[in-house]
């Protein structure tokens, strides 16, 4: 079984969250590749059974431009068999909190076996660790149902 986390981060909040989720996955004995978006290869998407996407939000809850290629790869390829999750960090000061997570969620729900979503306010805090654990539990139990 192969798992990957594809993520983007400018100021480090989402990459911290990606690392926490990667660690939680390894505690379940699941080796998870951490892929920064600039290393993403669309043709390799098929290689994975579980993919989680991590993104911050920008410009009125929008997707960061660098995540568009990832978004389109899921839309354009046959990926119904992949179990997915989406997580992100945002700032509730903005009217559309973590809007990019919602945008990915709606697309992944249509094109993949979407299991779970997670929104975190800015830098992950102690209380978010448990939420990350739940995120992984949910992802893996959904994967177990389809595999």
Ligand X SMILES: Cc1cc2nc3c(=O)[nH]c(=O)nc-3n(C[C@H](O)[C@H](O)[C@H](O)COP(=O)(O)O)c2cc1C
Among 98, 118, 132, 140, binds ligand X (CB under 6 A): 98
Cβ atoms < 10 Å from Cβ of 78 = 9
Q: What share of the chain is helix, strand, coil (3-state, %, to 5)?
A: 50, 25, 30
Per CB under 6 A, the segment of 8-16, 28-36, 71-79, 131-139 that binds ligand X is 8-16
**What is d(CA 75, CA 60) in angstroms, rounded to the nearest whole number?**
23
Q: Closer CB to ligand X, residue 38 or residue 78?
A: 38
- Where does 35-83 have alpha helices with state H? 68-76
Interface with ligand X, residue 60, by CB under 6 A: yes
User: In the sheet that 113-121 helps form, which strands lie side by side, from edge to edge?
Assistant: 32-36, 3-7, 50-56, 83-90, 113-121
Interface with ligand X, residue 91, by CB under 6 A: yes
**Which residue(s) pair with 77 in the sheet?**
none
What lies within 8 Å, CB to CB, of 41 at 6+ separation is none
Site string for ligand X, 105-134 (x = CB under 6 A): -----------------x------------
Q: Closer CB to ligand X, residue 71 or residue 94?
A: 94
Q: Closer CB to ligand X, residue 8 or residue 113?
A: 8
Among 52, 57, 113, 117, binds ligand X (CB under 6 A): 57
Interface with ligand X, residue 84, by CB under 6 A: no
CB of 101 to ligand X, least distance (A): 9
Two structure tokens written together for 41 = 């290869």
Residues contributing to the site for ligand X (CB under 6 A): 9-15, 56-61, 89-91, 94, 96-99, 122
């Amino acid at each position: 079984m192969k798992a990957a986390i594809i993520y983007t981060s400018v100021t480090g909040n989402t990459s911290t969250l990606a690392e926490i989720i990667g660690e939680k996955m390894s505690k379940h004995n699941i080796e998870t590749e951490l892929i920064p978006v600039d290393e993403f290869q669309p043709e390799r998407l098929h290689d994975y059974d579980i993919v989680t996407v991590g993104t911050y939000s920008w410009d009125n809850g929008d997707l960061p431009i660098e995540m568009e290629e990832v978004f389109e790869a899921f839309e354009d390829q046959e990926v119904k068999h992949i179990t997915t999750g989406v997580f992100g960090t945002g700032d509730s000061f903005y009217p559309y909190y973590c809007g990019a997570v919602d945008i990915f969620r709606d697309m992944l729900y249509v094109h993949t076996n979407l299991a779970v979503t997670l929104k975190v306010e800015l830098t992950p805090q102690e209380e978010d660790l448990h939420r990350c654990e739940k995120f992984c539990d949910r992802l893996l139990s959904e994967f177990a149902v389809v595999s």
